Each structure stands twice: as C-alpha cells, then as structure tokens.
Structure 1
Amino acid sequence: MMIIENHARKIKASRGKHHRYKVPFLKTKKMIHCESSIERDYVKILDFEPNIVDIIYQPLQIPYIYREKIRNYYPDFKVLTKKGDVWIVEIKPEEKLRNEDNLIKYVVGRLYCNQFGWEYRIVTDKLIRPGYFQENLAILRALGSQLVEIKYLSIVFQKLKQYDTCSINMLRGYCNELEDEVFYKAIYALIYHKNIYVDLISKRLDGEAVVSVGERM
C-alpha cells in the first residue's frame, strides 16, 4: 500500500540545483526530496526499517494563527507502516529543538494529528546519526540491497548458524566455496534485511564486525 502523492509545498532550489537533496526510497523505487542532509539520512533509516512501507515528503499545509497572524506549518514527512499507522514527522537539529517558533509548530502538529488518530513525531539529528550507524547504513544500502540468489544466502546463513556468532572475516573463511563478490553481497544482504544481526552503531561494519543469528531465524 502506498501513500497518495500530494506535496503541500515544493522544496526551494539551492545553489542552482532543483532540490537540496534527493534520496531513493528503495522499497518503492521513488525519489524523496529533502531540505537537509538530516532529512535525507532519516529517509535511509525508514528504508532500513521493515515495518515502514511508504513515505511522502512535504505532505501537509497546516494553517494556524500565532501572534495575530495566519501562518502555515509544513511537516517534513508522512510515513505509513505495515500496520496502517500514520506518522507525521518533523526533523529538527538538536540545537533548534526548543526554538519558540518550533515549539508552537509542535503543538499545531500534534493537535492536527489527534483529529485523525495519527502519531506526531519529532526526530533530531542525535537520533538519526548515532555512532557509526549512517556510515554503516551507506555500505548496506550500496551492497546489501542487491539481489542475491537464495542458495548463496542459505549457504552463508547456515554456516553462521553452525557457529552462532563470529566475525565477518571468520565467516568468510568458513564459506570458502563462494567467490568474494558473492559472499559479501550475501552477508550484507542478510544484514540489511535483518536476517542476521550486527552492531551498526558502536563499530564500523568491516571484517572484524561480529555477526550473529537472531532469534527470529
């Protein structure tokens, strides 16, 4: 299921570009336009989360009166989950979180969402960029989102299952029947789709990263 594409506002051009940032939402194969790199990185997180099915940028124009003037609030994203829940999301740098004008917008956003049973969320750069997460996610989006034959995924997963936990380098040695390219595509795909688990926040995703079989498998 996809959200109907209605954009309340166009993102203004910056330095001769049509949009400040564009990022592909891999699940739906569409481009999401963003006003900041923080918004761009948030879209990547949503793409990585299996319970998120769609996202629309600049989805709403919410009029409100503040200091005797009519103003408009444009939340950053509308997000749809597999369960059918709807989030209206505002992205803010931590240092601007408690700006007076922004505090008013948060109230307006929550009141609007309450009318429809939606959830209003404020997400900061600290939540979006913890540790090495975005650096590791970039690797997974580049390599882990590629199609890999099930037989290769199965070989890597079954080998890991024998040992339960080991480094990627060790697992590479256990899967010596596979070519390097096939192995790394398979291991990154398994991580990206959360079939196996690794700490993506406190450590870089390299050969020394420790992977393990999750309970769901």
Structure 2
Amino acid sequence: MYPRNIKKPHAKKNIFKFISVKNSAIIMCESSLEFDACFHLEYHPNVISFESQPFYLRYQLEDGAHSYTPDFLVTLNSGHKSLQEIKDSKFSLTPEYLHIFEAMKKGSEAIGFPLHLVTERQIRKGFVLDNLKLIHRYAGSKHICDFKKSVIEVIQNQGLSTSGKLASVFGKSIGFMNRELLELMSLGLVKAHLEDSLFNEHTELWVKE
C-alpha cells in the first residue's frame, strides 16, 4: 500500500473537482460517476470524511500480482474505514470483472479495509442525485440566523411540513423559503424525502432528531 497523487493527472484523463464542505477540501475525481458519488458521501449522515484515490493496493490473479487504486476511502462516525470502487453497472456485472473484484477484495481485506462495489444504478437512481446537487448549491454557510431557528422550531411543532406551508406561516415567497430550507438541509438540520421527485413546495420535511 502506497499513496497516489492525482493532482497531476495523465494528460488524456479528465479530472472532475468536487468542492467538499464536509472535508474542507477539493476532492479530485477521475470520472463523472465518481464525481456524482461524492454528493452521496457528502450528505450521508454517517460519513464523517472521504478521500479520493487514497493509495495503491496489490492483489493476486492467476498470472501474478497486480495493483489498483480504490476510488474512495470512507470514514464513518464510528471510526470504521472502508474502501469504495465505483463502476458502471453493466461493466461491473461481467464475469471477468467480478472475478477481478473478488481478488481486489481479498487484497483490500488483507490490510484491514473492506472493499465495496458501488454502481451507477445506485448513484444515479431516481431523483436523489439531482436533489443532492441542488442542496449542494446552497452549502457553505454554517451560520444559523434567528429566522432559520424559527423555521426549525415550526417544523418541530408541525412534525411534518412543506416549503409551501412554511411560506404561508412566515409570509414569504416559495422561492425564498426553498433557499432557506436547502441551506438547512445542507447542514443536515432539516431532512426531506428526496427519492420520488425534485425538491418543491410539496416535498415533506422534518427536523433531525
């Protein structure tokens, strides 16, 4: 196991840069799919940090030793660390790749890191990714003003709420209310159902317990 640096990538590779508030860093990605995976890691409540292309690992196949670079090293709130390999769904289901992946898992587990395969179908399923990208536009500010505190209190009292209901309560426009809520969602203070539709004035909201 030894480190890898992709700040100076191969000339033929496109590098995608994800600005992570969680890590206070720019995460360098070698594909658009890895870039999209960052949104899930950024807003997963159990992920405390993540790092791309962390180091080279070795694994064994019939023809000898090989090396590869896991796409992400993920650290959970519990302190547990694991590696993620991001792959196109069709490619990841081929017998050839599955054989290689099993060998990669053994090599990873040998040095104490579980290796998980995450596919395009998981990353780009439904509306979740588009909603996470929308939330990310409003990430950055950690200041919680008095108005936002009032919004949180009203949602707590209502149990479940929506942007439309809150706009009526506070006498604000839907657009203004959406911005305030998306900022709170980027901080993890307000939760929403993101699976079924793009975030709108009817999306159900609740406060993190």
TM score, norm. by length of structure 1: 0.82
Distance 1:73 1:212, change over 3 A: same
2:146 aligned counterpart, secondary structure:
helix
Kindly provide the CA deviation profile for residues 142-180 of structure 1, in whole angstroms up to 9, marking residues without a partner as x.
12443343422211111223322232112111122x687
Distance 1:156 1:191, change over 3 A: same
| % identical equivalent positions | 19
**Runs of 4+ that moved beyond 6 A:** 178-182
d(CA) in 2 for partners of 1:206, 1:29: 29
- Correspondence for 1:200 among 182, 190, 194: 194
Q: How does 1:180-195 map to 2 (within 5 A)?
A: 183-195=177-189
Q: Is the 8 A contact 2:61 2:103 kept in 1?
A: no
Give the unaligned 5+ runs of structure 2. Answer: none
2:76 maps to 1:81 = yes
* Larger mean Cα displacement after TM superposition, 99-108 or 34-43: 99-108
Q: In structure 2, what residue type is equivalent to 1:110? A: K
2:156 maps to 1:158 = no
Give the unaligned 5+ runs of structure 1. Answer: none
d(CA) in 2 for partners of 1:204, 1:32: 26
d(CA) in 2 for partners of 1:110, 1:95: 19
Q: Aligned residue for 1:210?
A: 204
Kindly provide the CA deviation profile for residues 85-140 of structure 1, in whole angstroms up to 9, marking residues without a partner as x.
11111011110112344223322332123234322111011111121111111111
Q: Aligned residue for 2:86?
A: 91
Q: How does 1:61-80 map to 2 (within 5 A)?
A: 61-80=56-75
Q: Is the 8 A contact 2:82 2:113 kept in 1?
A: yes
TM score, norm. by length of structure 2: 0.85
Q: In structure 1, what residue type is equivalent to 2:149? A: S
Q: Is the 8 A contact 2:60 2:103 kept in 1?
A: no
Distance 1:24 1:213, change over 3 A: closer
1:6 Cα deviation from its structure 2 partner: 3.3
Q: Aligned residue for 1:6?
A: 3
Q: Is the 8 A contact 2:189 2:207 kept in 1?
A: yes
Distance 1:113 1:88, change over 3 A: same
Q: How does 1:1-217 map to 2 (within 5 A)?
A: 6-7=3-4, 11-14=9-12, 19-176=14-171, 183-214=177-208, 216=209
Kindly provide the CA deviation profile for residues 59-109 of structure 1, in whole angstroms up to 9, marking residues without a partner as x.
232233434244322221111122111111101111011234422332233
Q: In structure 1, what residue type is equivalent to 2:41? A: L
d(CA) in 1 for partners of 2:52, 2:132: 21
